[in-house]
Structure 1
């Protein structure tokens, strides 16, 4: 019965989305406020119907209803309850349901929290989001229904959730990632609504900016969680592989980062309007492209969900309609987006534009590296693009980006005195060079690339410290009072930029100073790695809820002093027979020790063992979390919590 309720709820959500797509727009163009008013209730009805569908699918997993095809394919009675519930998004159909539910949730939140936005604008935004929802709901109902039953014959027990997904990190990683992916639909909807309205003033950027920031923050956390999961779960010790699906999540993040900064210029200076709208379209289009790559079967990845060309064709067609329609509207309205406001070559606008161009160049590099092998395969050509390509382009671009961020922090809007700017930078540069040189020699000397990266990261941090001190000291009430008056939006920027510096430092340390050994070890054997001694004590076996495990016991010492006892495992899952590696990690702020069991060797007790010393790797995820915290802090700025815009009779906002 739960499956039928969920199926019916999907059709009700589709009906609400269709009504949301049509009636509010008719109300806008026929000047019928009553029809515009229906936009918010329809968005809430759509979300309620999708919520019922999510709960219904969760209940099917809870009661082990294996007559539902999706449940039978992704769960079994021995699967722990937490993983049975997270299996809702553990496969293609369920993850699409999660996508649609989050999209409806974003629309409901826009309806709830946009009371200060003129009704005609809200109606346009929600109608655009309704059109997107129609596409995804049709995709689910026609090709990927999670409530299909396999009656009259169904298994007494199900298959299994992919063992890679039976992990706490994968309970929260997909929802976080999808919140970012789907959240950019709001920025896209505001852009299309602004094009339909024909009036993209600073108010439009102010309305769109917080929604873009929160989506970016969720995506930042989602990517960091995915990197962390790959590090400890896959057993290979890496944190980023330039996997096509990893790239698919990075692409909208890069474009979204550019969009956030472009929105700031549009809000404060009423400039870059065409550029901002184009970035909003590109960012959401890249989110849809990621969905296509993951679900079309055009690539093979541990992250990929589906292998069905028909489904891929549907998503590709939907992407063409959404992106093509928005770009067509943009081309028709482009002439009205020109700005007569100018800026000097040395100004905050100029540096933000430079950073935007670097971010879009990095996006293009990753996009080409991801798509070229697929294009070559379609043409019967074998093209392999590996890490050297991505690192060769991406690393220099990242360093130039950081270098441009410092004068951007110091510069004023419209124009900035070049001599003053150079003096401020010249005062900080020696401190960054000296501290970076010493920092890059710990634990061992770095190559020049590592030295440069640490120097630039410290340069960015020192620049923000200097800027905070100068701004806070300018208040007559005193330095401490001045710190509280700087504004949460400003502090959000400081946290985000410093988080990036921490992330760069972590990447540099682990890239140039990690030590790895792949060795043959049996109980009683000892291995040296740097100043650490790893002793393989023993092996034992135990049984989990749905797996059998072989567990190793290692004790680690540093110059003779005990450091940790580590327990890497090999697990064999009952239902699928898959063998998984569970690495043992002794985590620390300055370094990680990492041990993973490979395969048993010969007929003895010897195993292939991989051990790592990884300095600074935690800084990567710490930096990402600081960046996301900066985005969350910026959202609490008072200018987003009060209505500073009044509307005239035409529904166009004016700053009050």
Structure 2
């Protein structure tokens, strides 16, 4: 009965979404508060109906109702409860329902919290959001219903892919979808503003908090996915330039460009057309990600294996949304105000350069992702585009962007003083270069490029700290004055500092870990050893254990230093899941400060003298913790900025706030 209630609520949400679109559109066109208010009510009701439907799906998973096709395909009675719940969005159908839930949730949020918007623009935005909801809900109801019943229910389910039964991946999709779908609000507000013909500073102020929220959640989602790939897949790395990874990275890059461009439009009224273009592009790339993951054109552990027919439907939906947006943009572009003028040396120019580099980097990632698909579709030849391509094309662009980034916040609007900024930054550059030289001299083997990467990381962190120090007038004013300024400094400024410093922390970790990782692999019998840099890895024992829904061989591996003292004891596993007959490797990680000692145990094989042996791969990943800490600092920076009332609501500053 509960499943039927959920199925009814899903169909009802589609009807309500149609009503939301129609009522809001007519209410905006006729300037009718009654119709517009009815559209807002329909938006809230649509979300409530989807909430009921999603709760019914989770109930079906929790109770192991195998009469539901989705549950029978992706769950099992022995699966731990967390993964039963996560199984609700671990399949194509369930993930589409989650997508619709988040989409309608943002529509309801606009209806409830959009009082600061002009009534007509608000009505049009809710209508556009409703139109997106109609497309995705119709697709879910007609082509991907997660609550469809089986005529004959099996006794047991097939369970979820063991690789997806992980805490990080349980939380990864919700964060990712809030980020993906959060850009739908920016799209809807942009479409509404283009219809109204008012792409201006006020519009930029309205889209900025939504962009910031979406970008921050997308950052968390990508970081969780990278962390899962690092410790679950057992290959020792954290980023592979997998097409599905790229699918989430592209809207993140465009979102970062949009955040900076919106500031220029809000503060100076400049770049309105470019900001509107980025706003439409951000959600377009989000929909492209949905298509790539669910169309069947990609083969990846991250991708949903679905039939191409549903992929075609997604492609049509993306074409309709993107086509409508860019067509309207093309019609309105000639009439858009060019905005304020600025000199080549100014904060605006620095942000423009930042946008050019980020947009070009996005285009590079898009090319590297789609080229193999296009090539295979044209002549049937399978080609691979991997890390070497991105290292040669993407990395130089980002280094240029990082080089400019610390100077931007120190430049004045409209007309900056390049010499003055250079005088402020030379100490940061000198200190970063000194630290890079020390690393080059001390760390073995010597690697110039990696040491240069450390210089970039220290440059970004130092630039962020210098910018906040300038705002507080540290060492240039009495300490009490600096404290007063710190108290009055907007949280948006602190958030910017955290985000920029977090980027530097990530660069430090990525440069160090990539260049100085140590790897060793050898088949070891019991009490066999192998060297691992400054450590020795010894297979002490192998025991058999029984988990909640798997059997496993667990290796007891002792890691010792050169003096023979035990550093840690790792316990990697080789798991077998009877349901589905799948085998996975569970990584063991010993955290040593910022470093990880990373151990994977492979399958049993014949060793010397016929003794059983196990392939043991081990890595020392130096500074790897910074790779995940940096993006989390960036996300925290975004959330801190969002907590600033000026950013969140677009109101004037409070008395006592320091703005420069």
- TM-score bracket relative to the smaller structure: over 0.9
- 2:142 corresponds to 1:134: no
Aligned to 2:253: 254
Aligned to 1:471: 471
What whole-Å deviation, never above 9, does each CA across 1:350-395 have from its counterpart, x for those lacking one? 0100011110111011100010100111111232212100111121
Aligned to 2:329: 330
Aligned to 1:388: 388
What whole-Å deviation, never above 9, does each CA across 1:227-264 have from its counterpart, x for those lacking one? 00001001111100111100101010011110111111
- 2:8 corresponds to 1:8: yes
Aligned to 1:626: 633
Aligned to 2:496: 493
* Distance across 2 between alignment mates of 1:111 and 1:442: 59
Aligned to 1:405: 405
Cα pair 1:518 1:610 within 8 Å, conserved:
yes
Question: What TM-score do you get using the length of structure 1 for normalisation?
Answer: 0.96
How far does residue 206 in structure 1 lie from its aligned partner after superposition? 0.8
Aligned to 2:70: 70
- 2:594 corresponds to 1:590: yes
Report the 3-state secondary structure (helix = DSSP H, G, I; strand = E; otherwise coil) of the residue aligned with 1:267.
Answer: helix
* Distance across 1 between alignment mates of 2:167 and 2:649: 39
Aligned to 1:177: 176
* Distance across 2 between alignment mates of 1:442 and 1:329: 58
Pick from 577, 593, 614: which aligns with 2:581? 577
With 328-337 and 33-42 compared, the bigger mean Cα shift is at 33-42
In the TM superposition, what are the counterparts of 1:429-444 in structure 2 within 5 Å?
429-441=429-441, 443-444=443-444
Report the 3-state secondary structure (helix = DSSP H, G, I; strand = E; otherwise coil) of the residue aligned with 1:478.
Answer: helix
Aligned to 1:568: 572
How far does residue 61 in structure 1 lie from its aligned partner after superposition? 1.0
* Distance across 2 between alignment mates of 1:141 and 1:267: 40
* Distance across 1 between alignment mates of 2:392 and 2:16: 49
In the TM superposition, what are the counterparts of 1:483-562 in structure 2 within 5 Å?
483-559=486-562, 560-562=564-566
* Distance across 2 between alignment mates of 1:420 and 1:364: 34
Change (3 A) 1:565 1:20: same
Aligned to 1:651: none
Cα pair 1:589 1:619 within 8 Å, conserved:
no
How far does residue 641 in structure 1 lie from its aligned partner after superposition? 5.0
* Distance across 1 between alignment mates of 2:649 and 2:192: 22
Cα pair 1:588 1:618 within 8 Å, conserved:
no
Question: What TM-score do you get using the length of structure 2 for normalisation?
Answer: 0.96
How far does residue 589 in structure 1 lie from its aligned partner after superposition? 3.0
Aligned to 1:158: 157
How far does residue 440 in structure 1 lie from its aligned partner after superposition? 4.7
How far does residue 466 in structure 1 lie from its aligned partner after superposition? 2.1
How far does residue 416 in structure 1 lie from its aligned partner after superposition? 0.6
Cα pair 1:237 1:594 within 8 Å, conserved:
yes
Cα pair 1:541 1:549 within 8 Å, conserved:
yes
What whole-Å deviation, never above 9, does each CA across 1:186-227 have from its counterpart, x for those lacking one? 111111111011111211111110011010000000000000
Aligned to 1:87: 87
With 263-272 and 32-41 compared, the bigger mean Cα shift is at 32-41
With 342-351 and 153-162 compared, the bigger mean Cα shift is at 153-162
* Distance across 1 between alignment mates of 2:477 and 2:147: 62
With 262-271 and 458-467 compared, the bigger mean Cα shift is at 458-467
Cα pair 1:298 1:307 within 8 Å, conserved:
no
In the TM superposition, what are the counterparts of 1:199-210 in structure 2 within 5 Å?
199-210=198-209
- 2:651 corresponds to 1:644: yes
In the TM superposition, what are the counterparts of 1:321-360 in structure 2 within 5 Å?
321-360=320-359
Change (3 A) 1:52 1:420: same
Aligned to 2:275: 276
How far does residue 437 in structure 1 lie from its aligned partner after superposition? 1.8
How far does residue 156 in structure 1 lie from its aligned partner after superposition? 1.1
Report the 3-state secondary structure (helix = DSSP H, G, I; strand = E; otherwise coil) of the residue aligned with 1:498.
Answer: helix
Report the 3-state secondary structure (helix = DSSP H, G, I; strand = E; otherwise coil) of the residue aligned with 1:100.
Answer: helix
Cα pair 1:27 1:35 within 8 Å, conserved:
yes
Aligned to 1:188: 187
How far does residue 446 in structure 1 lie from its aligned partner after superposition? 4.2
How far does residue 3 in structure 1 lie from its aligned partner after superposition? 1.7
User: 5+ residue gaps in structure 1?
Assistant: 646-656
What whole-Å deviation, never above 9, does each CA across 1:146-192 have from its counterpart, x for those lacking one? 111111x2211111111011111111011111110111111111111
Change (3 A) 1:441 1:500: farther
Report the 3-state secondary structure (helix = DSSP H, G, I; strand = E; otherwise coil) of the residue aligned with 2:612.
Answer: coil
Aligned to 1:424: 424
Aligned to 2:655: none
* Distance across 1 between alignment mates of 2:611 and 2:43: 64
* Distance across 2 between alignment mates of 1:506 and 1:128: 42
* Distance across 1 between alignment mates of 2:150 and 2:169: 27
* Distance across 1 between alignment mates of 2:340 and 2:477: 31
Cα pair 2:208 2:647 within 8 Å, conserved:
no
Change (3 A) 1:492 1:310: same
* Distance across 1 between alignment mates of 2:23 and 2:142: 24
Aligned to 1:50: 50
How far does residue 443 in structure 1 lie from its aligned partner after superposition? 3.9
Aligned to 1:287: 286
Change (3 A) 1:601 1:402: same
Change (3 A) 1:248 1:440: farther
Cα pair 1:446 1:513 within 8 Å, conserved:
no
Cα pair 2:272 2:339 within 8 Å, conserved:
no
Report the 3-state secondary structure (helix = DSSP H, G, I; strand = E; otherwise coil) of the residue aligned with 1:14.
Answer: helix
Cα pair 1:446 1:512 within 8 Å, conserved:
no
* Distance across 1 between alignment mates of 2:454 and 2:439: 7
How far does residue 290 in structure 1 lie from its aligned partner after superposition? 0.6
With 421-430 and 303-312 compared, the bigger mean Cα shift is at 421-430
Cα pair 1:376 1:382 within 8 Å, conserved:
yes
How far does residue 39 in structure 1 lie from its aligned partner after superposition? 2.8
Q: What's the RMSD between the two structures over aligned residues?
A: 1.4
Report the 3-state secondary structure (helix = DSSP H, G, I; strand = E; otherwise coil) of the residue aligned with 1:612.
Answer: strand
* Distance across 1 between alignment mates of 2:623 and 2:17: 48
Report the 3-state secondary structure (helix = DSSP H, G, I; strand = E; otherwise coil) of the residue aligned with 1:236.
Answer: coil
Report the 3-state secondary structure (helix = DSSP H, G, I; strand = E; otherwise coil) of the residue aligned with 2:304.
Answer: coil
Cα pair 1:195 1:330 within 8 Å, conserved:
yes
What whole-Å deviation, never above 9, does each CA across 1:301-343 have from its counterpart, x for those lacking one? 0011132111000000000000001000001100122314211
How many residue pairs align between the two structures?
Answer: 644
Report the 3-state secondary structure (helix = DSSP H, G, I; strand = E; otherwise coil) of the residue aligned with 2:297.
Answer: coil
Aligned to 1:652: none
